[in-house]
Chains A and B, each alone.
Chain A
């Protein structure tokens, strides 16, 4: 080791000095952003005063004056703040509705599975995305359905004469097999006429029909679960069932409708346009009323149709129409050259859509899709007008309970409902913003 000693090199470090107070830290920041000029300072003070004025009563109501524990209305009768004791007492009902208490573990499994499958799906770096998505889209709804309803649906079949097979699940599945075969023949014939490869179309149709058959078998099977009527479902359970089903169903349906509306086949285009415009022209409340009041009038006697299921179908189709228009906007933004490049390398229509057009189009309309999801989530509250108890409906119903009735019970319930809805919607919105930023990085044209 050699040491150099030069007179002009300092022997020791100078003690570092603190940065000037005025440019860093909280004060520096405030000076630069809030008090940079006189008008700015005035605005800052006015805004601060407004925030304090608006927030103080809220904080007083929800925290300072709130009642946190107690057994019944007595603790809240004189309260000037929120009655959280009531929310605490009713929380199980808000979450499960009137789902039988000894069966609530089934709902818990459904909630837990959703969280377990959704979280890795939302983390970009988590592995096995395809498997995860397949589970969420196909296996999970089936599992949730069987767990929540108990499964074991007693299919009886409809039109095969009773002297061949008595009404039974067997008759139903025999009928299904017949219908499936006829459909396969029709698909094969159509493919032949249109000049598509028959084997390919046949295989695709076979897979779809087989999957539907399998699905019907699973819901018909007896897993030994006690059946729970949907009229006993309520609270967050109904809200999530309606919202998740609406989202999961409306996205693929919307994609198909949007593609249909841009199809070169006039019949498909016309059908898509009519569907979209009819559903968009009707308010959701009307749809729900139609589903709950009118539909039974059209159905033959003896055919019952679960009320929740009707609402689900209504919500899904209604949102599919909106989704279709959102997605169509994205499709329109994809230049013709992309379609042509896909054709030129020999990709078929569905391959072009799946591999080239949709990934780009959907990415463009993420904000629109999330907007639709958020309004769908909030619109689930409308199902309460047809007598289903969603989260808000359940809270409203409980506020009238004599055991807890007090001047603040209702307000507390609404504050709680608003907070929960806000949390869900805000999470969706933030996640969408994050996704958008992530996808935009480095992929600009």
Chain B
């Protein structure tokens, strides 16, 4: 962990941003699983180009929250507005939002029966109706960006975990999303592969991609996050810029969490 932190910190700090437009907004969002209240009055506003890191103990609702943003989970009360579209039961709106929001999962979730290239071109061809040629060009462009163009013809099962996760990132980027969601993208990886994935994510952050990352990589948070959001028990307990968040946490629960994770 500390190796990664140092490596990541060695890269340049991202440019300062001047937020003007809202990318994602959650207003008083509540969600229950049966009787269990997973999300409690969540309020979060993410500006275009902003990079948010979400941290918190296991079971605090981090995954649930970001999965609500592309409607993999349904919220019960409150409003979620993504790029000007409010998420309701209207399937058309859900489609619009999913087209604009990319997601990277903890366990990659690549399609094992398709080659790397096909994994990347599937959605552009069938969702964006892009011609196959063009989709392949786009896919190769992003595969080069995540530094594995030479694996394009292989199947996911033939790649290492780090490579698979980079393909997953490329697959999302091929849809040219406005917002990227990451749900613990490095926590299923062996330590030596974490850096290659974080490097790609840092690169994305530098280019001004709006990102919401659930991660325990505090080095990454320090380096690229504009804001760190701390969740516990389904609530946002505290949010702050990384320096203040790490140096000067306000709440007891945050302090306890930081002491555990940084020790």
Contacts and interface: CB of A to CB of B under 8 A. Distances in A.
A77 B109 CA distance: 71
B121 to A, nearest CB: 11
B158 interface: yes
Interface in A427-445: 442-445
Interface in B80-135: 89-92, 95, 98-99, 101-103, 105, 107, 109-113, 122-123, 126-127
A411 interface: no
Interface string A214-255: 000000000000000000000000000000000000000000
How big is chain A's contact interface, by range? 20 to 34
Interface in A317-370: 335, 337-338, 340-341, 343-348, 351, 355-356, 359-360, 363
Contacts of A360: 111-113
Nearest to A197: B92
Interface in B162-184: 171-172, 175
Contacts of A344: 70, 72, 98, 101-103, 105, 172
B61 interface: no
A340 B89 CA distance: 17
A123 interface: no
A340 B102 CA distance: 12
B246 interface: no
B95 A348 contact: yes
A90 B231 CA distance: 82
A442 B155 CA distance: 7
A281 interface: no
Contacts of B105: 337, 340-341, 344
Contacts of A20: none
Contact of A338 (B101, B111, B122): B111
Nearest to B100: A346
Contact of B127 (A338, A347, A359, A363): A347
A19 interface: no
A222 to B, nearest CB: 42
Contacts of A338: 109, 111
B112 A346 contact: no
Nearest to B72: A340
B109 A443 contact: no
A195 B126 contact: no
A78 interface: no
A443 B110 contact: no
Contact of A359 (B72, B90, B113): B113
A188 to B, nearest CB: 15
B20 to A, nearest CB: 27
A335 B90 CA distance: 26
B123 A363 contact: no
B175 A341 contact: no
B49 interface: no
A345 B112 contact: no
A443 B123 contact: no
Given A340-B105, A344-B103, A195 B91 contact: yes
A345 B95 CA distance: 9
A195 B112 CA distance: 32
A195 B72 contact: no
B90 A195 contact: yes
Contacts of A363: 113
Task: Name the residue among A196, A345, A348 with the largest chain B CB count within 10 angstroms.
Answer: A345
B72 A343 contact: yes
A354 B119 CA distance: 14
A119 interface: no
B123 A345 contact: yes
A347 B99 CA distance: 9
A54 interface: no
A1 interface: no
Contacts of B113: 359-360, 363, 443
A363 B111 CA distance: 14
Contact of A445 (B89, B101, B103, B112): B112
A443 B112 contact: yes
Interface string A71-104: 0000000000000000000000000000000000
17 contacts: A194-B91, A195-B90, A335-B109, A337-B109, A338-B111, A340-B72, A343-B72, A344-B98, A344-B103, A345-B98, A345-B175, A346-B95, A346-B99, A346-B123, A360-B113, A443-B157, A445-B112
Given A195-B90, A344-B98, A355-B122, 6 more contacts: A195-B91, A338-B111, A343-B72, A345-B175, A346-B98, A355-B126
The 9 A-B residue pairs with the shortest CB-CB distance, nearest first, are: A345-B123, A341-B109, A337-B109, A344-B103, A346-B98, A346-B99, A346-B127, A195-B90, A195-B91
